[in-house]
Amino acid sequence: MAALKITPRLHNPERCRNESEVESKFIVCYLLPALGYPPESWHQEVTFGRFRLDFLAVADPKPRFRSQLQIVIEAKHPNQNLKRHRYQLREYLKELNIRYGVLTNGKALQVYEMQGLEMKLLLQIPGKKVASHIGELREAIGRNSLIKKALIRKPVKPLSFVQSTESKKRNTTQDLSKMKTIAIYHNKGGVGKTTTTINLAAALSKQGKRILLIDLDSQANTTFAMGLVKFQDELHDTIIDSYVYHVLRDKNKAKISEIVRTSDFCKEPIDVIPSHIDLMQQEDELKQLAPALTRLFYKLKEVEDSYDIVLIDTPPSLNLYAKIAIVTADYMLIPSDLKPFANEGLRNVRRFVSEIDEFREAMGGRPPIQLLGVLASKISTAYKFVEHTLPKMKEVVEAQYGFPLLNSHIFERRDISAAVERTIEVGDIDIPDPISVIDYKPRSPSAEEFKALGLEILSLI
């Protein structure tokens, strides 16, 4: 039986009232046929591991083809801002080794190309003008054009898509089979470190990862934010006899499995080793115990089969607890508001980490801690700031201080603090009942930002 032939019609964005109609009326009935892709050359709702692609179009229908002959097309609701979905598309292209990607909500269409590790915008076309720009689209991502481009590019070792995907899935499994430990650190306070730690933990947990969160800050903000402080006074203190200090002090006692508590901060369980305000008073004692510096590292090895990712919230200082975190971790993430004092603090971070890396090498040749990058956090949402000031601030961090920046951004919004400040009435008193912003408002910009951060961190580790 001959394959069904779909004749492309002119696109009218007003006919697309929801995501399903963007898929059926625009992508299936207009865009794919106009670009020369017959029905047998594209697939809808394709799943690869943790990724589900709306559409995958293949210029070469043979079993063996190169990654530059594939296009990922993602459809969004007409009311969705496409900017919010660029990072997700980048992850698809990067992880699946696909060269081209398209984002569209019917009202607009954006074409991207992976160039090395960066995703570059090739075309941005209003929905009403797609027909008048169809020649440019065909030149960029049309089926015949991609085949011609593939013939003149430097040859790439061909793999079938199934082989490539299965290999990627195997590599991902191998990479994540070993527990990863990330220190969230900056020696400047007030840069969103705790907010980043707790909501990143939630985002990773929702990706199916088993998370352990360790609070190494004597201010115990993370412990409070995770909902573990349910008491009102020291007479009812449930933490003072069992927190991170005991893990660091005792070699054969206070195992992580004995100290850990499960938080209901988000729907998915997160284990927490809490801190306490008394931790500040214990620093001099622990300094006298040389093994205290490495004790957390070795105790984590006892539970490495129980967790996928460990996040360590650190104090904004250069003290013993910050050292312990950097000695212990595989990776370091630096939240920063990118303001002058935070930037100047990066010099201290570099020196501090360099000294600790020497100690790590003495621990049986442990490699230096790997820097994931600087995360722009607590960023103003003001339009002029985002468009004009923020790019300059980011450039300073990279050019003047030599630190890479993550693609993710965390903007300062009321939803984040409102989620942590939630309380419930118990008798005559209000008890803290914080939750993650992802559970508080799942569709909010803040929730989307932390979801994107979680995906970016997973791609880096």
pLDDT at 235: 60
Percent helix, strand and coil across the chain, each to the nearest 5: 45, 20, 35
Residues 6+ apart with CB under 8 A from 290: none
Query: Which stretch of 131-135, 146-150, 277-281 has the lowest confidence by average pLDDT?
Result: 146-150
Residues 6+ apart with CB under 8 A from 22: 16, 75, 76, 77, 78, 104, 105, 106
pLDDT at 332: 92
Residues 6+ apart with CB under 8 A from 24: none
Q: Which helix (H) or strand (E) holds 397?
A: helix 390-399
Q: Which residues of 237-247 are buried (b: 16+ CB within 10 A; e: fewer)?
A: eebeebbbbbb
Domains of the chain, earliest start first? 13-172 (3.90.1570), 178-460 (3.40.50.300)
**Closest-CA residue to 66 (of 166, 165, 157):** 157
**Average pLDDT of the residues in 125-140:** 91
The whole-angstrom separation of Cα 217 and Cα 322 is 8
356-394 pLDDT, tens per residue? Answer: 888 888 887 788 888 988 998 888 888 888 888 888 888
> pLDDT confidence of 345, banded at 50, 70, 90?
confident
**Closest-CA residue to 461 (of 356, 269, 329):** 329
In terms of residues, how long is the chain? Answer: 461
Q: Give yes or no for residue 139 having a pLDDT over 90.
A: yes
The whole-angstrom separation of Cα 144 and Cα 410 is 41
pLDDT at 169: 37
Rg (CA), the chain: 25
The whole-angstrom separation of Cα 214 and Cα 108 is 44
pLDDT at 231: 63
pLDDT at 174: 39
143-177 pLDDT, tens per residue? Answer: 988 888 766 544 433 322 232 333 333 333 334 45
The whole-angstrom separation of Cα 71 and Cα 57 is 5
pLDDT, the chain, mean:
82
The phi, psi pair for 460, rounded to 5°, reads -80, -30
Q: Give yes or no for residue 223 having a pLDDT over 50.
A: yes
The whole-angstrom separation of Cα 154 and Cα 157 is 10
**Average pLDDT of the residues in 24-35:** 91
Query: Which stretch of 161-165, 269-273, 318-322, 405-409 has the lowest confidence by average pLDDT?
Result: 161-165
pLDDT at 172: 39
Q: Give yes or no for residue 182 having a pLDDT over 90.
A: yes
Q: Give yes or no for residue 269 having a pLDDT over 80.
A: yes
The whole-angstrom separation of Cα 54 and Cα 48 is 12
User: Does residue 270 sit in helix, strand or coil?
Assistant: strand
Angle made by CA atoms 360, 188, 398, in degrees to the nearest 5: 75
Tell me how crowded residue 443 is: count the other CB atoms within 10 A of its CB: 7
Q: Give yes or no for residue 214 having a pLDDT over 90.
A: yes
pLDDT at 391: 86
**Average pLDDT of the residues in 344-358:** 87
> pLDDT confidence of 11, banded at 50, 70, 90?
low
**Average pLDDT of the residues in 196-208:** 90
User: Does residue 43 sit in helix, strand or coil?
Assistant: strand
**Average pLDDT of the residues in 333-343:** 89
Of the two residues 429 and 456, the one the predictor is more confident about is 456
